[in-house]
Chains A and B, each alone.
Chain A
Amino acid sequence: MKVLFPRSLTMDRLEAISPAPAWRGEVRGLLGKLSEKLMSEPSATLKALGFWLRPAHLKQMALLVDGTRMRPRGKVLQVAPGNVDTLFIYVALLALWLGNVVVVRLSSRQGEDEARLLDILHALAETQCWSEELQRLVLVRCEYDDPDWTAQMSSADMRIFWGSDNTIRRLSTVPKPSHCIDLGMGHKHSLCLLHAKKVLDNKDGQLAALFLRDTLEFAQQGCASPRTLIWFGSASCVAAAQEVFWPAVEEVAKDFIATGRYQLDDASALERLSGLQQLALDGCVHDPWQRVGCLVRLPVEELSQRQELGHPAHGVVYEWAINDLSELAAQLKPWHQTLSYFGWDRSELTEWATHQAVLGLDRIESVGQALIFHPIWDGLNLLQQLGRQLR
C-alpha cells in the first residue's frame, strides 16, 4: 500500500490517528483556504471544486442536517472511482468536516486533476495551521489484495465503494466490524428531458452549451452525464425542435473541441465504434456509423437495460420521444440516476417524481447542472450518513 498523502505516514501512525469532533471551525477554515487555492487553478474541474467549497456553500450544505448532536462515524474508507478522478474528494472532505478519519484508495490511473489536487494538499499540509486537520485525510494507492489495505477494510467504521456493480459486490465480501455500514455507489444511467416546444421558443441560445457541459465535461463518463435524451412533445414539435437543437449543439461542440474542453482520442473513437457495432449486432440500434460531429445520435424506442449497459459513451446519445411523462415513469429503474431537464420548473418535476411509485431517479437538476456534486447523492443524504446522530 503506497501512501500518497500525507507524506511519510507509516502504518503504525495511521492506526494512531483518531477522529475529531464534528463541524470544527478549523476544518471549515481549511476548506475555505482550499477553496481559494482551487479557484485560481486553470482546470475547470478544480475550479468547480473550489467554487463548491466556498464558505457560503458550506453554510448552505450544513443546513441539510440537524448538526447539533452529530458525531463522526470514526474511520471512513472510500474506494474512489476512476471515471471522474476528483469525485472522491467531495465525499472525503465532507467526511473530514464531520470529524472522521478518512482513508481513500485512489484509482490505479492518475488523472491530471488528481495530481494537481495532491500537490495543493501537500502544500497546505506543510502549513502549520492546517497540518493537524489534514492528518485525518489519508490517500493511498494499492492492489485490492494488499494486506495493509485489507486490514484497513476490516477495521473501518464505514465503507464507501464507487465502481461497477461487480466491484461493489466483490468489495462488500471483505469482512468488517458489525457496526460498520457499506455504501455502494454503483453503475448508473442518466437522462436529459427536453420540452420540445420550450426548446423551440427558447431564445437565449445557452441550451446547447448547457447540454454539452453535462455531456462532454468528463467525456460522458460520469454517471450523472446524460446518455439518453428524452424529447417531450408531439412528433411534429419534437422533429422541429431537433432541427434547431442539434445544429446548435454541433456548433458549440466545435468550440469545445477547439478550446480543448473535449477531445475524442483515437482509442476512444475505436472503442465507440466497436460499441456501436456491438449494439447494432445485438439489434439494439440502427445505423452505427459516426455522424454528428463529435456526437452520435441513436434513435431508440424505450429505455432498456441491455441498451443502457451497452452504451459506448464518448459522445453517444440515445434519443427517445415521449408524449406524456407517464411513459417515462413506466420505464424508470433503480439505476436511473439524474434527470436533467429544460422547459419545466424544478418543483413541477420533483413534485411529479415524488408521486411516482418507482425506484428510479435520485436527482432532478436543471440542464447544465447535472455534474455538480450534491451531498444528497444516489438517494442518500451523505452528510447525515457520514456522522452518527445522538438522540
Chain B
Amino acid sequence: MSPVSFIDEPVYGWSAGRKRPWLLEQLNQLTRNHLERCTDYRRLMDSVEGGRHAQTLADLYPLSVRLFKQNRLLSIDDDEVFRVLTSSGTTSQQVSRIYLDRETAALQSKALVKIMQPWLGRQRLPMLIIDHPGVITERSSFSARGAGIQGMMVFGRRPVYALNADLSPNWGAIDEFVESHRGQPILLFGFTFMVWQLLQALNEEGRSLALHDGVLVHSGGWKKLQDQAVDNATFKARSQHLFGVDRVHNFYGMVEQVGSVFVECERGHLHTPLFADLLIRDAQTGNLKPNGETGIIEVLSVLPRSYPGHVLLTEDRGRILGEDDCACGRMGKYFEVLGRVPRAEVRGCSDTVEPSKAEEY
C-alpha cells in the first residue's frame, strides 16, 4: 500500500479536479489489495464485468452493506485482527462485523482527528457525553455507539457522562459539569436520539443549561426523531435554546467506514472530507443520479485496508446538493441524508416470523 501521506493534506481543501483522479487511484489500489487478500471479495468481483479496474468513480463496484452482516469479510490474517466493530441495523437481527487491523484502526483515528479539528480546534475540550458510562465499559454493548463515543473521546478531556444507566438524566453530574466549566469552551457529544431525549427532559423540567461556549456534535439515525416529526432545524433550535450552545454539528457516518465521517457545516450541509466521497445511485438500475436528485447513498473511503469496505452501497437515501461551491467555503461534495430506505416487507415463506424489534443504532 502506498504511504498515507494524504493524512496531512487539508481535509476540505481539494477541488474535484484534483481530488477525483487521486481518489480513483487510491480506491483502485484498494480493490487490487482486497482482491488479492480476500477470497470472498474476489469471488464476488469475478462475476462483475469490469469490476477490477474502474475508469471513473462511478465504475467502482459497490458492495451492499448487508454483506457484512452475513459474511466474515476481511483482507487480513486472523492473527492480525486487532478489533472487531459491530453494529445492529434496522433491517435484520444480524449485526455487521468489521475487522480492523492495527493499521486500519490507526488510520481511522488519525482521519477522524483530521476531520474534526477544523470544527473543534486543536485543543482538547472538557467533554459532556450524552450517554451512560456503561456504553463503553460493558463489553457486550460495545457496538457502534460505544465505538463512536470512544472515537470522539480523543477530542475531549475529563469526560463526564450525562445519563444514568437507565438513560435518565444524571442531574448532579450535569450541574457539576456546567458549574465547573462556566465560560469555557466545551464539547457535548451524543447520539442524536439520546441528545433529543435529554432535551425533552430539560424541557419537561423547565430547565436549561448555560453552556455558552459549547459545541454540540451528534450523530446516529434520525428515524426515531422523524417518527416524532423532529427535523434537523427543530433539533438545532432546541439544542441552542436548552443547552445554550451556539454551534451544533450533525455528522453522518457508519460502522462500516469508521473514521471517514461527513460533518455538517454552518449552512447545514454534510461535507465530504478528502478521504471519502459520496455517490447517489438509483436503487433499481444502479445508475448514478445527477446532483439534486434523491437516491441511495454510496460511500467511498480510502481508509478500509483490512476489510473490503472501501466502496459501499448503504441503505440510506440522500441527495448531493453541490460540489466545491458550498457557501461555507469548503471544497468537496456537500449533501443531505433523507433517512433510511423504508424497510422492505419481509416476505416469502419465512414471513410468519415476527419482525425483529429493530434497534436504532
Contacts and interface: CB of A to CB of B under 8 A. Distances in A.
Interface of A: 79-83, 107-109, 143-144, 161-164, 166-167, 186-188, 219, 221, 223, 264-271, 273-274, 277-278, 280-283, 285-290, 313
A270 B315 contact: yes
Contacts of A273: 64, 283, 286, 313
A82 B352 contact: yes
Contacts of B201: none
A270 B352 contact: no
A167 B352 contact: yes
20 contacts: A82-B345, A82-B346, A82-B352, A83-B348, A161-B352, A163-B353, A164-B349, A166-B350, A167-B350, A221-B348, A267-B344, A270-B64, A270-B341, A274-B64, A274-B67, A280-B43, A280-B46, A285-B47, A286-B46, A287-B48
Contacts of B344: 265, 267-268, 270-271
**Across the A-B interface, the 8 shortest Cβ-Cβ residue pairs:** A82-B351, A267-B344, A163-B352, A164-B350, A274-B64, A266-B283, A274-B66, A280-B47
Given A82-B347, A278-B70, 6 more contacts: A164-B349, A188-B349, A267-B343, A270-B296, A273-B283, A281-B41
Nearest to A219: B347
Contacts of B70: 278
B106 interface: no
Contact of A79 (B71, B352, B355): B352
B67 A278 contact: yes
Contacts of B48: 280, 287-289
Most buried by A among B67, B348, B349: B349
Contacts of A107: 351-352
A334 B40 CA distance: 31
A363 to B, nearest CB: 16
A172 to B, nearest CB: 13
Contact of B283 (A164, A219, A269): A269
B234 interface: no
Interface in B132-175: none
A273 B66 CA distance: 10
Contacts of A287: 47-49
B283 A81 contact: no
A83 B346 CA distance: 8
A346 to B, nearest CB: 26
B355 A108 contact: yes
Interface string B50-67: 000000000000011011
B44 interface: yes
Contacts of B41: 281
A277 B61 CA distance: 11
Q: Is the interface of A mostly helix, strand, loop or mixed?
A: loop
Nearest to A187: B349
Contacts of B346: 82
A110 to B, nearest CB: 11
B350 A221 contact: no
Contacts of B350: 163-164, 166-167, 187
Contacts, number: 121
B352 A109 contact: no
Given A82-B351, A163-B353, A277 B343 contact: no
A285 B349 CA distance: 23
A271 B343 CA distance: 10
A281 B67 contact: yes
Given A80-B352, A277-B63, A290 B286 contact: yes
Contact of A109 (B63, B283, B345, B348): B345
Interface of B is mostly: loop
Contact of A83 (B49, B71, B351, B355): B351
B206 to A, nearest CB: 39
B205 interface: no
Contacts of B315: 267, 270
A167 B350 CA distance: 7
A253 B345 CA distance: 22
Nearest to A109: B345
Given A280-B47, A290-B284, A267 B296 contact: no
Contacts of A266: 283-284, 296, 317, 341-342
Interface in B316-361: 317, 341-355
B285 interface: yes
A321 to B, nearest CB: 20
B347 to A, nearest CB: 4
A108 B349 CA distance: 13
Contact of B349 (A223, A274, A283): A223
A273 B354 CA distance: 24
Contacts of B296: 266, 270
Contacts of B284: 264, 266, 269, 290
B71 A281 contact: yes
Nearest to B49: A287
Contacts of B66: 270, 274
B64 A277 contact: yes
A163 B351 contact: yes
Contact of A277 (B44, B46, B285, B351): B44
Contacts of B44: 277, 280-281, 288
Contacts of A221: 347-348
Contacts of B64: 270, 273-274, 277
Contacts of B47: 280, 285-288
Pick the most buried of A82, A108, A164, A283: most chain B CB atoms within 10 A of its CB: A82
B353 A164 contact: yes
A162 B43 contact: no
Nearest to B285: A290
B282 to A, nearest CB: 9
B67 to A, nearest CB: 6
Interface centre among B41, B48, B317 (most CB of A within 10 A): B48
Interface string B67-84: 100110000000000000
A258 B317 CA distance: 24
A144 B341 CA distance: 28
Contacts of A83: 347-349, 351
Most chain B C-beta atoms within 10 Å of own C-beta, residue among A161, A188, A270, A285: A270
Interface string B265-307: 0000000000000000001111000000000100000000000
Residue of B41, B46, B70, B345 with most chain A CB atoms under a 10 A cut-off = B345
Contacts of A286: 46-47
B191 to A, nearest CB: 24
Interface string B8-51: 00000000000000000000000000000000110110111100
Contacts of A144: 354
